[in-house]
Amino acid sequence: MSTVFALRSAAVLGATGVALGAYGAHGLKKIISDNEKIQTWTTASHYQLFHAVALLALSISTRRHPYVAGLWTTGTAMFSGSIYCLVLNKEKLRFLGPVTPLGGLFLIAGWAALLAP
């Protein structure tokens, strides 16, 4: 993947991560009273923001890692995205449950891909 893709992914994940984190800290409490669900939302936004920063670093790196940006972007969308959906409506979106660990595997694979020469 190109450095432009990594930079744009970082921008999108960063902007939406801040927005969703703010929503979780302020607006979510108006519709969800379960502190565990709110903490789960916070975890999702932290993972999203962390990988946005990692993608930003990747975009300015002089070493090329052709698969990392795609793995991190896909993994973050799957991992954090499925968590957001499940917190909002677990009963209706239960089918997304297996997506979360699969997204985590994509994130791990992205970090492992950094080891490739």
The domain total for the chain is 1
CA distances in angstroms from 42 to 16, 26, 57, 87, listed in the order given: 13, 11, 23, 11
Give the model's pLDDT for residue 1.
Answer: 62
Domain with 8 in it: 3-113
Q: What is the pTM of this model?
A: 0.94
Q: What digits encode the pLDDT tens for the residues 15-54?
A: 999 999 999 999 998 999 999 999 999 999 999 999 999 9
Percent of the chain clearing pLDDT 70 (strictly above): 99
CA-nearest of 13, 102, 22, 86 to 50 is 13
